Amino acid sequence: MKLKHIVGLLSAAAMSVVLAGAASAQDKTVKIGMILPLSGNAASAGVHGKAAIETAVEIINTGNPGLGNLPVTKNAGLKGLGGAKVEVVFADNQGSPAVGQNQALRLITEEKVVALAGAYQSGITLTTSAIAEKYGIPFVNGESVAANLTERGFKWFFRVTPVASDFARIYLDFLKELKASGIKTDNVAIVHENTEYGTSVASVITSVFKENGLSIALDIPYAANTTDVQSQVLQLKDKKPDVLIMVSYTSDAILYAKTMQALDYKPPMMIADNSGFSDPSFIKTAGKLTQGIFNRSSFAIGAAGTPTYLINEIYKKKSGGDDLDDTAARQMQGFFVLVDAIDRAGSTEPAKIQAALKATDLKPDQLMMGYKGVKFDDKGQNILAAGLVIQLQDGENYVPVWPKQLAKTAPALPYKGW
Amino acid sequence: MSSILVQVIVGGLLLGAVYALFSSGLTLIWGMMNIVNFAHGDFVMLGMYVAFVVWTMLGVGPFVGAPVAALVLATLGIIVYFALIRSVMKGPMLAQILGTFGLALLLRYSVFWGFGANFLTLPGDIVGGTYDVFGIKLQASRLLAGVVALLVTLGLHVLLTRTSLGSKMLAVSEDATAAQLMGIRPDSMQAIAWAIAAGATGIAGALIATFFYIAPTVGETLGIVAFVTVSLGGFGSVPGALVAGLLIGVIESLSAYLIGAVYKDIVVYSLFLCFLWFRPQGLMGKT
């Protein structure tokens, strides 16, 4: 290395030290670490998640009295900490569990965050929360649904989202009702990506269905970063399931939609498990190829003037015009739950935040999501999380179709495709 | 044989042709100049974005998009050669690896910055729909990519073996000093090689964009396949890359259909390693 390179590197290092010093000199901020896939295959979801958290931070720090009973939004900053502002340090997990783990370590030991949130992919939430547990830092997750995340006996991990088993039951009840009305639902196939998320969701759906006398006839795991899905689609075409359940991230979801059209395959009914199929960039690129696909959701933007509508208006400015989707909304809700706990704790001490999280008891009108509330059990799972079935009827917007009392319109069958 | 199985094999061949198409540029650089271009996948990605921009601005498909992508990428190839490759080639192997790897990240994150992380696609019918031949579905966009793969392979092969430009390029790759003594300028030849390789890669990207998703990270996914295709085909052998691409495509499709999608990579890579054990120079590489 030449001398000028060394000098360059040294001065860059010196500058970053100065900058870091300047940041820590600011008092009265609560630093929270947010781990998201900001690059890699899931970057699209990560960027939307980042916009959602930035929206929440803006609402919390400037105050927005128009948002009903949503906690920590009434006045600027956190009342419980003398009006302290919230600062979020974003870290990129690059779609890798190992990178996520290093980022968690960096956020805790170098950035000195008081709590962590994230990390989108269940497989990365798994590794990052293990670091938080080791260091005794609260970790609040709003979006990862793999069952085992709350089965590890962790004391510092809290999950706000409904989990795979909740959704498996929703799908089951939904299918039962359709069956009662004469629609064939006996032969179910699951196609799922093979990391923590897809594998665990598929196995939970399989076991819940089995307990209720419904067997999964075909189970096709695949790698999410695959270049081609023709063979899987042909397998489905050969076996002709009545119901196809897809558990995918965005890139693979787009490939499936395009390949199904190319090979002219339409199942009579297709259910997508959120994630890829809820990503706004999926709906934009492949929504018109998957008209009539069912999905799960806990979020609806609502009528003009409602808190969720107002939140979406702020979000759109940060997301470049995209509407708030279910995944980003669940991340935002998780973040609000965390900040509310810090506010009630009146302290940034991890143990006090942990105690406040344990005491969380939010009612439906204090939430932006359609949950029945937020209350954690001993394992850190929100026992009041809930969801509904939505359908992409026109290829552009998901509408609630089940259960009846929440439905805007009736489910449309058979699956239309393109 | 059931019609589904025929469809699997046909699908595998079309997929393999695409693999061959985006590997031909890499085989030229790797085989001829002994440089491993880690930015290759990201060149494909740029070709896809060029096709997308052409479509958004002019409303036309790959028949315009592919030539434009070829031009843009060829220009980039020349710039990359003079700005980066020429100097790292003098350094150790590690410098070449890190240099092109850094270039890959630079390209990837420039696109992230310019276009955002959102997935994009071209309209599904931009090349035409799907043909039905005796119950076998042939997607027009993949068919076009397959045909172009054959043409590009043929073109590159003729260029390298039947033209004086090709002979000069080969001479430079064999012994740059001796070539220089014969009145050939290694610099120009290598710049031309980069232009051709990058241009072919641009065409590949523009065509793949008609049936694949477009995202800044797509080069990561495609890049690895290109490396395997080139080493199986034999370094520097353009027809070898074609045969290897087709072979990998069919093996992938068949094993995904018969054994399971998660096992297809295991099948492909173990066969690949076994093959290299017996024939390290690849299918058509020189010993």
Q: Does the distance separating the beta carbons of A263 and B124 come in below 8 Å?
A: no
Average pLDDT over residues B270-277: 90
Residue B240 near chain A (CB below 8 Å): no
Predicted local confidence at residue A154, as pLDDT: 96
Asked, for residue B286, whether it belongs to a domain, the answer is no
Among the ranges given (A14-23, A212-221, B29-38), the one the predictor scored with the smallest mean pLDDT: A14-23
Task: Write the CA distances from A397 to A93, A324, B217, integer angstroms.
Answer: 30, 12, 27
Q: Which are the contacts of B148, defined by CB distance < 8 A and separation ≥ 6? A: B21, B66, B203, B207
Among the ranges given (A11-25, A104-118, A327-341), the one the predictor scored with the smallest mean pLDDT: A11-25
Q: Which ipTM was obtained for this model?
A: 0.88
Q: Does the distance separating the beta carbons of B213 and A255 come in below 8 Å?
A: yes
Asked, for residue B231, whether it belongs to a domain, the answer is yes
Q: Mutation test of the interface with chain B: which of A92, A218, A227, choosing the one with the most B Cβ atoms within 10 A? A: A227
Sequence letter at residue A6: I
Residue B248 near chain A (CB below 8 Å): no
Percent of all residues in chain B with a pLDDT value above 90, rounded to a whole number: 53
The alpha-carbon gap from A40 to the nearest alpha carbon of chain B, in Å, equals 6
Average pLDDT over residues B245-257: 94
Chain B residues touching residue A395 (CB < 8 angstroms) = none
Average pLDDT over residues A138-143: 96
Average pLDDT over residues B86-99: 88
Q: Which are the contacts of A106, defined by CB distance < 8 A and separation ≥ 6? A: A91
The alpha-carbon gap from A51 to the nearest alpha carbon of chain B, in Å, equals 12
Average pLDDT over residues A197-203: 91
Q: Closest to A261 (Cβ–Cβ): which among B124, B142, B264?
A: B124
Q: Closest to A194 (Cβ–Cβ): which among B8, B11, B262?
A: B262
Predicted local confidence at residue B45, as pLDDT: 96
Question: Residue for token digits 């344990």?
Answer: A358
**Per-residue pLDDT at A8 exceeds 60:** no
User: Given pLDDT bands bounded at 50, 70 and 90, which one contains residue A6?
Assistant: low
Predicted local confidence at residue A33, as pLDDT: 97
Q: Which residues of A touch B (CB under 8 A)?
A: 38-41, 43-44, 46-47, 194, 220-223, 225-232, 234-235, 237-238, 250-251, 254-255, 258, 261-264, 279-282, 284-286, 289, 320, 418
Percent of all residues in chain A with a pLDDT value above 70, rounded to a whole number: 94
Q: Give, to the nearest 10 degrees, the angle between helix A230-239 and helix B238-258.
A: 30
Q: Does the distance separating the beta carbons of A262 and B142 come in below 8 Å?
A: yes
CA angle centred on A395, ends A390 and A398, rounded to 5°: 25
* For the ranges A14-28, A370-384, B128-142, B160-174, the one whose mean pLDDT is highest: A370-384
The tens digit of pLDDT for each residue in A75-111 reads 899 999 999 999 999 999 999 999 999 999 999 999 9
User: Given pLDDT bands bounded at 50, 70 and 90, which one contains residue A24?
Assistant: very low
Q: How many domains does chain B have?
A: 1
- Mean pLDDT, chain A, rounded, equals 90
Predicted local confidence at residue A219, as pLDDT: 94
Q: Indicate left, alpha or beta for A417 from its phi (over 0: left) and psi (-120 to 50: alpha).
A: left
Q: Does the distance separating the beta carbons of A258 and B119 come in below 8 Å?
A: no
Judging by DSSP bridges, how do beta strands A139-141 and A157-159 pair with one another?
Answer: parallel
Judging by DSSP bridges, how do beta strands A85-92 and A388-392 pair with one another?
Answer: unpaired
Among the ranges given (A2-16, B136-150, B181-195, B232-246), the one the predictor scored with the smallest mean pLDDT: A2-16
Predicted local confidence at residue A368, as pLDDT: 92
**Per-residue pLDDT at A5 exceeds 90:** no
Q: Which are the contacts of A296, defined by CB distance < 8 A and separation ≥ 6? A: A167, A170, A171, A273, A274, A326, A387, A388, A389, A390
Average pLDDT over residues A118-142: 95
Q: What is the spatial distance between Cα A32 and Cα A168, in angstroms, rounded to a whole number? A: 32
Predicted local confidence at residue A23, as pLDDT: 42
Q: Closest to A251 (Cβ–Cβ): which among B108, B119, B124?
A: B119
Residue B131, strand partner residues: B138
User: Given pLDDT bands bounded at 50, 70 and 90, which one contains residue A20?
Assistant: very low
- Mean pLDDT, chain B, rounded, equals 90
User: Given pLDDT bands bounded at 50, 70 and 90, which one contains residue B287?
Assistant: low
Three-class SS of chain A:
CCHHHHHHHHHHHHHHHHHHHHHHHCCCEEEEEEEECCCCCCHHHHHHHHHHHHHHHHHHHHCCCCCCCCCCCCCCCEHHHCCEEEEEEEEECCCCHHHHHHHHHHHHHCCCCCEEEECCCHHHHHHHHHHHHHHCCCEEECCCCCHHHHCCCCCCEEECCCCHHHHHHHHHHHHHHHHHCCCCCCCEEEEEECCHHHHHHHHHHHHHHHHCCCCEEEEEEECCCCCCCHHHHHHHHHHCCCEEEEECCHHHHHHHHHHHHHCCCCCCEEEECCHHHHCHHHHHHHHHHCECEEEEECCCCCCCCCHHHHHHHHHHHHHCCCCCCHHHHHHHHHHHHHHHHHHHHCCCCHHHHHHHHHCCCECHHHCCCCCCCECECCCCEECCCCCEEEEECCCCCCEEEECHHHCCCCCCCCCCEC
Q: Closest to B124 (Cβ–Cβ): which among A225, A238, A289?
A: A289
Task: Write the CA distances from A175 to A186, A206, A212, A402, B246, integer angstroms.
Answer: 9, 14, 12, 11, 42
Average pLDDT over residues A164-174: 89
Q: Mutation test of the interface with chain A: which of B4, B10, B56, B119, choosing the one with the most A Cβ atoms within 10 A? A: B119
A183 or A302, greater pLDDT = A183
Average pLDDT over residues B32-46: 89
Predicted local confidence at residue B249, as pLDDT: 94
Q: Which are the contacts of A118, defined by CB distance < 8 A and separation ≥ 6? A: A33, A34, A35, A36, A49, A91, A93, A100, A124, A125, A128, A141, A331
Q: What CATH number is attached to the domain comprising B18?
A: 1.10.3470
Q: Mutation test of the interface with chain B: which of A2, A218, A231, A265, choosing the one with the most B Cβ atoms within 10 A? A: A231
| All structural domains of chain A | 27-162+303-366 (3.40.50.2300), 164-297+388-406 (3.40.50.2300)
**Per-residue pLDDT at A26 exceeds 50:** no
Here the tokens at position B279 are 């024939």
Residue B216 near chain A (CB below 8 Å): yes
User: Given pLDDT bands bounded at 50, 70 and 90, which one contains residue A1?
Assistant: very low
Average pLDDT over residues A301-305: 84
Judging by DSSP bridges, how do beta strands A139-141 and A115-118 pair with one another?
Answer: parallel
Here the tokens at position A174 are 């939904």
Average pLDDT over residues A314-331: 93
Average pLDDT over residues A285-312: 90
Residue B229 near chain A (CB below 8 Å): no
Chain B residues touching residue A264 (CB < 8 angstroms) = 130, 137
Asked, for residue B219, whether it belongs to a domain, the answer is yes
CA angle centred on A88, ends B115 and A151, rounded to 5°: 100
**Per-residue pLDDT at A15 exceeds 70:** no
Q: Which structural domain range is residue B120 located in?
A: 3-278
Task: Please report the number of interchain residue pairs, chain A to chain B, with beta-carbon separation below 8 angstroms.
Answer: 122
Percent of all residues in chain B with a pLDDT value above 70, rounded to a whole number: 99
Chain A residues touching residue B112 (CB < 8 angstroms) = 39, 43
Q: Which are the contacts of A276, defined by CB distance < 8 A and separation ≥ 6? A: A248, A249, A250, A251, A252, A253, A254, A282
Residue B115 near chain A (CB below 8 Å): no
Task: Write the CA distances from B11 to A234, A326, B142, B260, B279, integer angstroms.
Answer: 10, 35, 9, 16, 28
Q: Closest to A285 (Cβ–Cβ): which among B117, B119, B254?
A: B119
**Per-residue pLDDT at A45 exceeds 80:** yes
The tens digit of pLDDT for each residue in B171-204 reads 888 888 888 888 889 889 999 999 999 999 999 9
Average pLDDT over residues B48-62: 94
Q: Does the distance separating the beta carbons of A41 and B221 come in below 8 Å?
A: yes
The tens digit of pLDDT for each residue in A234-271 reads 999 999 999 999 999 999 999 999 999 999 999 999 99
Helix (H, G, I), strand (E, B) or coil at B112: helix
Chain B residues touching residue A199 (CB < 8 angstroms) = none
Peptide bond into B83 cis (omega under 30): no
Percent of all residues in chain A with a pLDDT value above 90, rounded to a whole number: 72
Query: Under a CB-based contact definition with an 8 Å cutoff, are residues B45 and B110 in contact?
Result: no
Predicted local confidence at residue A4, as pLDDT: 55
Residue of A nearest to B142 (CA): A262
Average pLDDT over residues B113-128: 87
- Rounded-to-10 torsion of CA B234, B238, B243, B249: 90
Asked, for residue B222, whether it belongs to a domain, the answer is yes
- B125 burial class (0-12, 13-18, 19+ CB within 10 angstroms)? middle
Average pLDDT over residues A146-151: 90
